[in-house]
Structure 1
Amino acid sequence: MVRRKGDGSTLDLFTDWEPPKVAVRFEDDARVRADNVAERISRMVAEVLRDADMSRGDIAGAMGDFMGKPVSKAMLDAYAGQARGDHNISLARAIALVAVTKDARVIGSELEPLGLAVVPKRDLHGLRHLAWSERSRKAQAMADAEYQLWKGLA
Structure 2
Amino acid sequence: MKDTSDPIQSIYLTETSTDILKEHCIGRSFPDSVLAPKATSTITGEVISRAVSMAMKESGQSREEIAVAMSEYLVTEVVNRNMLNAYASEARKEHKIGLERFIALIASTKDERLVQLLADLVGMVLIPSSLLPAVEVVLWDAKKLLAQDQQQQAHEKLENALASQDLK
- Do these two structures clear the TM 0.5 threshold for a shared fold by scoring above it? yes
Identity %: 31
Residue aligned with 1:83, SS = coil
Q: What's the CA shift string for 1:72-115, capped at 9, x where partnerless?
A: 12211111111211101111111111112121323322432422
Q: Residue 69 of structure 2 corresponds to which residue in structure 1?
A: 62
The counterpart of 1:103, out of the listed 108, 111, 115, is: 111
1:41 is displaced (CA, Å) by: 0.7
The counterpart of 1:30, out of the listed 28, 33, 39, is: 33
The counterpart of 1:137, out of the listed 145, 149, 160, is: 145
Q: Residue 49 of structure 1 corresponds to which residue in structure 2?
A: 56
Structure 2: 5+ residue stretches without partners: 1-18, 164-168
The counterpart of 1:116, out of the listed 109, 124, 137, is: 124
Report the more deviating stretch, 52-61 or 32-41.
32-41
Q: Does structure 2 conserve the Cα–Cα contact (< 8 Å) formed by 1:25 and 1:106?
A: no
Q: What letter matches 1:30 in structure 2?
A: S
Distance 1:153 1:67 in 2: 71
1:25 is displaced (CA, Å) by: 5.1
Distance 2:97 2:81 in 1: 13
Distance 1:116 1:26 in 2: 13
Q: Does structure 1 conserve the Cα–Cα contact (< 8 Å) formed by 2:30 and 2:113?
A: no
Q: What letter matches 1:83 in structure 2?
A: A
TM-score (normalizing by structure 2): 0.67
Structure 1: 5+ residue stretches without partners: 1-16
The counterpart of 2:87, out of the listed 36, 58, 79, is: 79
Q: What letter matches 2:57 in structure 1?
A: R
Q: Does structure 2 conserve the Cα–Cα contact (< 8 Å) formed by 1:57 and 1:72?
A: yes
1:58 is displaced (CA, Å) by: 1.3
After superposing on structure 2, the runs of 4+ consecutive aligned residues of structure 1 that deviate more than 6 Å are none
Q: What letter matches 1:64 in structure 2?
A: S
TM-score (normalizing by structure 1): 0.72
Q: Does structure 1 conserve the Cα–Cα contact (< 8 Å) formed by 2:66 and 2:105?
A: yes
- How large is the Cα RMSD of the aligned pairs? 2.8
Higher helix share: 2
Q: Which protein, 1 or 2, shows the higher relative CO under an 8 Å CA cutoff with sep ≥ 6?
A: 2
